[in-house]
Structure 1
């Protein structure tokens, strides 16, 4: 009889026992139905968010973008739910010794147990923008105190500079940015220099790209900016934005080197002759660019997040909204970003969400 009970469904077992003893407890009420979950999301992730940046640590994604007047971090466990993420202003320039405006393109990192934010700002002197560094020793970058570590620049070459990003290769760290060759040259080029610590550069800067193709020279001035690091297999890529953001033709270009090459050698880099991500007017994506990368929650998918305007002619303002989409890899190991997807299209959430 005991063996028979083990083979019967639980509900039948309760019923049989109830027939044997009038003191048996009544059968439990059925559990309420699980509410349906949504397996898709739509772009844009937010209505405003130029120059989006994502950094993952553990199970948390941290998002930043250009606000213009402060540094704000959104914290979320799911990138598809960025719109409902808690938003915290972590730093503003209204403090002693800091006189800045036009706060652009922040990027958050965790190095050696501390948090760092690299951001561009106009100090209202010195021919415009420079890159600055903040440090925070708290476990959570949305708490604690951010300490101003000052400008990060090559010694003796304190020139206009924006869009700082960090490459780690061969056991060293390097800062990449967009800057001017000399003070009176508005053309934006991509430079790299070695870092001795998260707020100090050593040695000379090296130019690794300049606007040379027609698709990099739309609008004035000609622009290479927003360098972002992407690694895959035995390759290191720099995905950068080209042409001026005031045009609909703002697009992404690609530089490639070996994962073990010396990134300070210009000869280490190979530049794609055509853009790798361009506007898609049919899907309300004009001037797509200034991107970042992240992996899905379960680590099986690669995603790009970028900004774009929904209409033609909207330029460099707050119509630029953050959008994300999954991308794949070509047979030669290079990224294949496809084309910008349409606003409002239901897309599968990143795997693991």
Structure 2
């Protein structure tokens, strides 16, 4: 049932009274035209979380639409929406279902959608079942809309001489070249998770050996055990940032860290990157384990926004109860991003501008 402001109700009553008084000389009633039904005002706010479940959220923005992906564990799904704050009502399309067995048949994690060289690509993590088998894979689709067309497997994204555990792949474009960043083990026997980078010759092929960009070194990167994962690219002014997730996701202290380089630096040079000594986004306001994020612009392009997952309660770990949240962020005077603190759930927040 719609509820209208009192001024609209008074207008409707007045019009009805006028209609009752309008009679011709012969005494017959002449109904007045019915007033148009006013549309209810558009809500100017939204609340987090956007969905009840959504680990490892990702948003890609193109041609007036936002394409959202998340970890489902058993397939790849794209939600398409014109407004990120209305993600809950977006239409979902399953674009890929894994084979019944094989190297990418289980544990489908952290998908990312990218538009490169006129085609769509989805990078994702998968394995044969055991966690040690997790690797990065990629699909290709030449359609204009990634929720349509045909997705083709292009295989794994890796260097055969360094075939180690690898998850959370993303893409950096800098100095006219393209690079792949991911989280991996230093060798095949496990251990802490580090961030690596390698140049790409095309969207599914790496060139040369991997280069280590970051390893857990501070205590806030070692809760549970040492983890650097989920690298994401953020560019602003003359800087390129890698925002990454640190510590084991099963802890409440999963958080975001920051690497900084100039926008013209060679990203394969480890010394070109500087790590911020303190985390840039941590648990607060009842948001536990905030991390594994992505970035997008508001509908009108005026605002910068982060999307990330978090748990509603302490001790909920790495499961499906992690849910996606969005909030606007700003920039510090030195050009670094200022994400503030996680907003509390079920709190009305202004929608992204232009929505």
Q: Contact between 2:245 and 2:256, CA under 8 Å: does it hold in 1?
A: yes
Q: Contact between 2:74 and 2:107, CA under 8 Å: does it hold in 1?
A: yes
| 1:100 to partner: Cα distance | 1.5
Mapped to 1, the partners of 2:131 and 2:87 lie a distance apart of 37
Aligned partner of 1:244 in structure 2 is: 248
Aligned partner of 2:289 in structure 1 is: 287
Residue 87 (structure 2) pairs with residue 82 (structure 1): yes
Counterpart mapping for 1:137-148 below 5 A: 137-148=142-153
Counterpart mapping for 1:101-250 below 5 A: 101-124=106-129, 127-220=132-225, 222-250=226-254
Aligned partner of 1:313 in structure 2 is: 315
Query: What SS does the aligned partner of 2:133 have?
Result: coil
Q: Contact between 2:103 and 2:133, CA under 8 Å: does it hold in 1?
A: no
CA deviation profile, 1:31-85 (whole Å, cap 9, x unmatched): 4323211000000000000000000011000000000000000000000100000
Aligned partner of 2:280 in structure 1 is: 276
Query: What SS does the aligned partner of 1:156 have?
Result: helix
Task: Return the TM-score normalized by structure 2.
Answer: 0.89
Q: 1:96 to 1:244 in 2, by over 3 A?
A: closer
Q: Contact between 1:155 and 1:201, CA under 8 Å: does it hold in 2?
A: no
Aligned partner of 1:100 in structure 2 is: 105
Aligned partner of 1:301 in structure 2 is: 303
Mapped to 1, the partners of 2:332 and 2:276 lie a distance apart of 14
| 1:181 to partner: Cα distance | 0.7
Q: Contact between 2:77 and 2:93, CA under 8 Å: does it hold in 1?
A: yes
Mapped to 1, the partners of 2:218 and 2:103 lie a distance apart of 39
Mapped to 2, the partners of 1:215 and 1:131 lie a distance apart of 26
Counterpart mapping for 1:21-40 below 5 A: 30-40=35-45
Residue 336 (structure 2) pairs with residue 334 (structure 1): yes
Aligned partner of 1:12 in structure 2 is: none
Query: What SS does the aligned partner of 2:278 have?
Result: coil
Stretches of structure 1 that go unaligned for 5 or more consecutive residues are 1-25
| 1:203 to partner: Cα distance | 1.1
| 1:98 to partner: Cα distance | 5.9
CA deviation profile, 1:166-212 (whole Å, cap 9, x unmatched): 00100111000000111113210000000000000001111010000
Aligned partner of 1:258 in structure 2 is: 262
Between the two proteins, the alignment pairs up a number of residues equal to 325
Q: Contact between 1:241 and 1:250, CA under 8 Å: does it hold in 2?
A: yes
The two structures, once aligned, show a CA RMSD in angstroms of 1.6
Mapped to 2, the partners of 1:216 and 1:341 lie a distance apart of 22
